[in-house]
Structure 1
Amino acid sequence: MPTPQDVLAPLTDSALFLTLTVHPGHESTVHDFLPDLGDLVKSVGFPHPGEDLHCVLGISSDAWDRLLSGPRPRSLHPFREIAGDRHRAPATAGDLFLHLRSTNPYPCFELARRVVTTLGDAVEVADEVVGFRYFDRRDLLGFVDGTANPTGGDAASAALIGDEDPAFSGGSYLIVQKYLHDLDAWTAKPVEERECSVGRRMLENLEIPDDEKAPDSHVTLTTITDPDGTERDIVRDNMPFGSLARGEYGTYFAGYAADPSVTERMLTRMFVGEPPGTTDRLLEVSTAVTGGLFFVPSADLLDDPPPLPTATDEPTGDGTLGIGGLKDR
């Protein structure tokens, strides 16, 4: 398998989530930057090995067509807005996404600064969120986040593409969302009601037994099981964030998967319900304000990317690309 990016890097105490849009006509600048990203990460991280700096870069469906010729990752598509009767997961702008992680905030900031400076007028920052560790890895709602993440080989199987799409093995699909919390409404609820909404005990961090768990709890709706009983996992690297000046308090969701449909089904169950109407109780106090789907290519592909598209590689408008009839899936 090609060398993956740092998708499976361990959780860190600091993170920075950076969404960029690429200005039309500047695709060559961004394309030329891709192989240089690894050296940029080393230039910041090498002098500070204890900071455990990691960088993951993802490319959206539209940006892929603009930046890279040849075949596409077979499950890459724009983020699809999910709208139920009461809740909505919007799709928002973003061509490139950088997920930066380190022990302290300053390496993330410095790497992000160098990326934006290097790309210059080619890009615009669409969104920037600084994440931080909160107590014993709790979110701002008071619950430990990420306890159910797979580990070891199970994490690699859940997050990394293998033989199912051999041209893009070692890659991953990243879905990101920014959620804002109404903390006043949340803390006004009794602890028992909060635990019922999440599906875990707040103090002990233990999952509520299935026969006691509410059908519309967050844990219930984000547990995906195939018809044969196989449970499907993703790798989450969520982080709390907040701003006193803006009165914003939230969770940044970052979910890596070998198959984006697993994450998409989780979100559909949360926002629409399965059956419809059985929506996630957390959405009563948490509102999604961004949404994006990005393909995270292997480090090898970033180091030696396909050429820029030519005129014949442009989308034809009928759902295909001018590269031998490959479907724009």
Structure 2
Amino acid sequence: MADGDRIPLDAQSVAAPLSRFAVFLVVTVGASDAALEQARGVVAGVDDLIKTVGFRDLSAHLSCVVGIGSELWDRLSPGARPAELRPFPMVSGARHTAPSTPGDVLFHIRADRVDLVFEFERLLLDALRGAATVASETQGFRYFDARDVLGFVDGTANPVGAELAESVLIGSEDPDFAGGSYVVVQKYLHDLDTWGRLSTEEQESIIGRTKLDNVELDDAPGPQFAHKTLSTIDDGAGGELDILRDNMPFGRPGHGEFGTFFIGYSRRLWVIERMLERMFIGEPTGFHDRILDVSTALTGTTFFVPSRPVLVGLGESEEQTDASPASVSHPSPPADPDESLGIGSLRIGRTS
């Protein structure tokens, strides 16, 4: 395996292989000191719970990424703060709105067996009982060849190889939090009846790719750009600033519920925020992403995903240590995350 296929060992498993099942669990932590300390211990000990459940079938690749919201971060670690961490900003366009919704902790649970995902979540919530309240719980599944319920392949533009760490992991620009990442989550419901009345050609022009074979299309003339164009952010020098998507479909046909859970990891939070502005407000203003005419955002929350050493360090309360997460002992970060790709143990299994 080439070095570019690995990420640093001390990063959380943001790049775990594309799984068959996932739970996106967002909780809020109670205001009391007791609730805070209970939650502190749970988030810092997630790796132990992964081992407890995952040993039943190591080939199922159980993993859980923990993200901490802006307000809870200040409670857990008042002395140090990731440079870009802030609450999700509501984005309001002329016709569509991306709401901002509560959330203190994100647990992104993944595996190739639904029973392992279930058991992990059950034990996790048992450990949090009395300290946290579930704000949002979404059970996702892989749909055919990584398609969304609109019928299109999702995640095609994900970075791979050496580009992955560069796009997802914080580097020397914020050295105290190197190896961490920002993550934004949104839950979208789709109007499949309206979508189904569009021709395949109309659907393809909205997405910007062919439906059958996933070939990228050129934008039609005019300012109403396709989804693939509006969700692409350039670096000002002709390149693209990628994010890592691990979106999954969800649904309950008996309730007429069909949707996509968007989850995007990025080294630079502003890239996702700019992407959402282009989608909801338009580029230029007033020309929104037409996928929003059939897809309604129900939630929107931002989290910081600390590296494993920083996450474990959060388990030490102020009474136990006066050290901030910035002083947690771990190897000095390289100038660029890619320089340490060869020492990690997490393989990248995405093909889309």
- State the match for 1:17 in structure 2: 24
Q: 1:211 to 1:181 in 2, by over 3 A?
A: closer
Q: How many residues align?
A: 311
Q: Separation in 2 of the partners of 1:305 and 1:23? A: 17
- State the match for 2:4 in structure 1: none
1:279 equivalenced with 2:288 (yes/no): yes
Q: What letter is aligned with 2:226?
A: S
- State the match for 1:324 in structure 2: none
Any residues of structure 2 matched to 1:239-318 within 5 Å, and which?
A: 239-305=248-314, 307-308=316-317
Moved more, 298-307 or 287-296: 298-307
Aligned residue for 1:97, secondary structure, equals strand
Q: Select the residue among 117, 120, 127 that pairs with 1:108.
A: 117
Q: What letter is aligned with 2:153?
A: V
Q: Select the residue among 126, 129, 136 that pairs with 1:120.
A: 129
Any residues of structure 2 matched to 1:148-159 within 5 Å, and which?
A: 148-159=157-168
Maintained 8 Å contact 1:55/1:98: yes
- State the match for 1:5 in structure 2: 12
Q: Separation in 1 of the partners of 2:111 and 2:45? A: 20
Q: Separation in 2 of the partners of 1:195 and 1:213? A: 16
Aligned residue for 1:252, secondary structure, equals strand
- State the match for 1:326 in structure 2: none
Q: CA deviation at 1:32?
A: 2.0
- State the match for 2:209 in structure 1: 200
Q: What letter is aligned with 2:12?
A: Q
TM-score w.r.t. structure 2 length? 0.85
Aligned residue for 2:11, secondary structure, equals coil
Moved more, 259-268 or 210-219: 210-219
Q: 1:143 to 1:85 in 2, by over 3 A?
A: same
- State the match for 2:81 in structure 1: 72
Q: Give CA-to-partner distance per residue, 1:141-193, whole Å, 9 cap, x none.
A: 00000111110120111011011100001100000000000000001101000
Maintained 8 Å contact 1:159/1:258: yes
Q: Separation in 2 of the partners of 1:212 and 1:146? A: 25
Q: Provide the identity percentage.
A: 49
Q: 1:211 to 1:194 in 2, by over 3 A?
A: closer
Moved more, 280-289 or 147-156: 147-156
Q: Separation in 1 of the partners of 2:213 and 2:9? A: 40
Q: CA deviation at 1:210?
A: 4.8
Aligned residue for 2:279, secondary structure, equals helix
Q: What letter is aligned with 1:257?
A: S
Any residues of structure 2 matched to 1:229-244 within 5 Å, and which?
A: 229-244=238-253
TM-score w.r.t. structure 1 length? 0.91
Aligned residue for 2:43, secondary structure, equals helix
Any residues of structure 2 matched to 1:64-213 within 5 Å, and which?
A: 64-210=73-219
Q: Separation in 1 of the partners of 2:222 and 2:43? A: 46
Q: Separation in 1 of the partners of 2:148 and 2:108? A: 18
Q: CA deviation at 1:212?
A: 6.9
Q: CA deviation at 1:211?
A: 6.6
- State the match for 1:319 in structure 2: none
Q: 1:112 to 1:101 in 2, by over 3 A?
A: same
Where relative contact order (Cα < 8 A, 6+ residues apart) is larger, the structure is 2
Maintained 8 Å contact 2:167/2:241: yes
Structure 2: where are the runs of 5+ without partners? Answer: 1-7, 323-352
- State the match for 2:349 in structure 1: none
- State the match for 1:325 in structure 2: none
Aligned residue for 1:268, secondary structure, equals helix
Q: Give CA-to-partner distance per residue, 1:81-134, whole Å, 9 cap, x none.
A: 000110100001111000011112111111111111011100011111000011
Q: What letter is aligned with 1:22?
A: V
Aligned residue for 2:143, secondary structure, equals coil
Aligned residue for 1:273, secondary structure, equals coil
Q: Considering only aligned residues, what root-mean-square deviation do their CA atoms show, in Å?
A: 1.7
Q: What letter is aligned with 2:125?
A: V
